Amino acid sequence: MGNLASAIGSHPEEVAVISQLREGSEEAFAWLISKYHQPIYSLVARTIPNPTDAADLTQEIFIKIYRGIGKFHGDASLRTWIYRIALHEASNQRRWWSRHSQREITMEAEVAHSDEGEGVCLKDTLADDGGSPFELAAQQEVSSRVEAALRLVPEPYRSVVVLRDIEGFSYEEIAEILATSIGTVKSRLMRGRAHLRQRLTPYVEAARRKPVSAAGLLESAEEAR
């Protein structure tokens, strides 16, 4: 129990939850799902070939977590242990897809550039700041473009980009999740960001060539009233 408390740190309630999970508590399992389901689902959807399979795979992941909780001894944090299982299952799904279907940024990391030459960050494309309907529609288009480009980034670079630039894990945590060195994590992150930037560059350049900007459309709409 000492190792568990040390690994979990500022979340001592998780120590009790883990003990309850080991005893087969449904309430503890419900707590685990409520806390980690959405981030694990998002991770899976971004790292498997077919995102429509994410819901089913996420369920399978939590079943494996429930059945394997006895193997968690606090050598890693609970969060990194769960993400390690999720990425392992996502990797298995990718291999299955390849066999049967023949298919295949801290958050401040710049993945493209605006018309003014300013860097466009990954977090800016995926965040929802609650703007106007027009702005939200434009934001959704950019977000969709980034998500589509992200899916074309080859593994293992894509997983590192997701863990670092979207999930916010540290280099040390990512190395622990992927069972690799920090140097390898940084190398994969650099290459993943380069792939993403290359995928997004044509979209950014096309946007620059558009004759009417989003701001111009808004001004024209206001003048027409």
Choosing from 101, 123, 142, the residue where a domain stops is: 101
Task: Compute CA distances 73 → 70, 76, 169, 220, whole Å.
Answer: 8, 8, 21, 62
Residues 153, 205, single domain; the answer is: yes
Same domain? For 78 and 128 the reply is: no
115 — pLDDT class (breaks 50, 70, 90): low
CB 107 within 8 A of CB 120: no
Contact 57, 6 (CB under 8 A): no
pLDDT tens, 40-49?
A: 999 999 988 8
* 217 and 136 in a common domain: yes
* From 76-80, 90-94, 125-129, 167-171, the region with the lowest mean pLDDT: 125-129
Answer yes or no: do 85 and 121 share one domain.
no
Q: Are residues 73 and 175 in the same domain?
A: no
**What's residue 180's pLDDT?**
93
140-188, pLDDT tens digit by residue? 677 788 888 888 899 999 999 999 988 889 999 999 999 999 999 999 9
Helices (H), 120-181: 122-126, 133-152, 157-161, 171-178
The CATH number covering residue 135 comes to 1.10.10.10
Neighbouring-strand partners of residue 110 = 121
**Half-sphere exposure in the Cβ direction for 128 (13 Å, CA):** 8
Indicate if 139 and 215 belong to the same structural domain: yes
* pLDDT-based confidence at residue 224 (cuts at 50, 70, 90): very low
Quick one: 10 and 72 in the same domain? yes
Q: Provide the residue range defining the domain that includes 94.
A: 2-101
Same domain, 130 and 50: no
Same domain, 120 and 19: no
Q: Point out the domain boundary residue: 39, 72, 101.
A: 101
pLDDT given for residue 58 in this prediction:
94
Helix, strand and coil in the chain, % to nearest 5: 75, 5, 25
pLDDT in tens, 9-49: 445 667 787 888 888 888 888 888 999 999 999 999 998 88
Same domain for 211 and 166: yes
Instruction: State how many domains the chain has.
Output: 2
Whether residues 219 and 126 fall in one domain? yes
Q: CATH number for the domain including 74? A: 1.10.1740.10
- Judge if 95 and 119 occupy the same domain: no
- Which of 52, 73, 101 represents a domain boundary (last residue)? 101
